[in-house]
Amino acid sequence: MNLWTRISEALAALASGESLSVVFDHLRSPPERSVAFTIAVIALGAKMAKADGHVTRDEVTAFREVFHIASADEDNAARVFNMARQDVAGFEDYASRIADMFGEEPSTLCDLLEGLFHIAMADGFYHPSENEFLQQVAQIFGLPDSEFRALRARFVPDAMPDPYSVLGVSPDAALDEIRKSWRAMVRETHPDRMIARGVPQEAILMAEKRMVDINRAWEDIQKDRAA
């Protein structure tokens, strides 16, 4: 039984009246955790795209960049996405369930928020409603405000990217301390580490961009300190 078949079964349970909490309780163990993660990405991604009042083709394309969907699974994926994007109502429930499931793995929650930022910026404009949506999701996930600001700095041009925020360190920190933070983030972003956390293969696509941003931040700080 492939991923999308399991997702369809979970959605069928929801459609039949099963509560979201009951469905997610059945998805706590591997490989079903991947089903829960994927449903959350699709649901939150679709609702993220709707947060500014309309869903654009660019946002749908951005979603497909985060999740590679085989041609044989496109109908199931489209069904899930279309169900979720009707409006933004209920996104808190999805966010809360996924936060409960991955609460001891904040890196996985950060992966999900990162994908949502990617979708939000697909049309080239960061709408205030999108910012409010993402802030609420980050709060439900229990992610520090500094981490939210670091993600926003990476994705939103007007946020004036700050290399220190990207690495989660103070501008006053010693270079050795910054180097340790950079190395830790590189290790955490490695594909093998993400796979070990049970993150779906598709979510690793976002790690590639994250690695570029992390390394660029470290290079910028080295140049700044050498000046």
Statement: residue 18 has pLDDT above 80 = no
Confidence band for 68, pLDDT divided at 50, 70 and 90:
low
Residue 57 lies in a domain: yes
The answer for residues whose C-beta is within 8 angstroms of residue 133's C-beta and 6 or more apart is 47, 48, 51, 88, 91, 120
- What is the CATH number for 112? 1.10.3680
- State pTM to two decimals: 0.64
> Mean pLDDT over residues 98-120, rounded?
82
pLDDT confidence of residue 221: 92
> Mean pLDDT over residues 127-140, rounded?
91
Statement: residue 175 has pLDDT above 60 = yes
Range of the domain at 145: 3-159
Contact between 164 and 221 under an 8 Å Cβ cutoff? The reply is yes
Residue 189 lies in a domain: no
Task: Tell me the per-residue pLDDT of 136-153, one tens digit each, with 9 for 90 and over.
Answer: 999 999 998 878 888 888
Residue 188 lies in a domain: no
> Mean pLDDT over residues 175-187, rounded?
92
Residue 12 lies in a domain: yes
- The full length of the chain comes to 227
Amino acid at 32: E
| Helix axes 91-101 and 32-50, enclosed angle (nearest 10) | 150
Number of structural domains (the chain) is 1
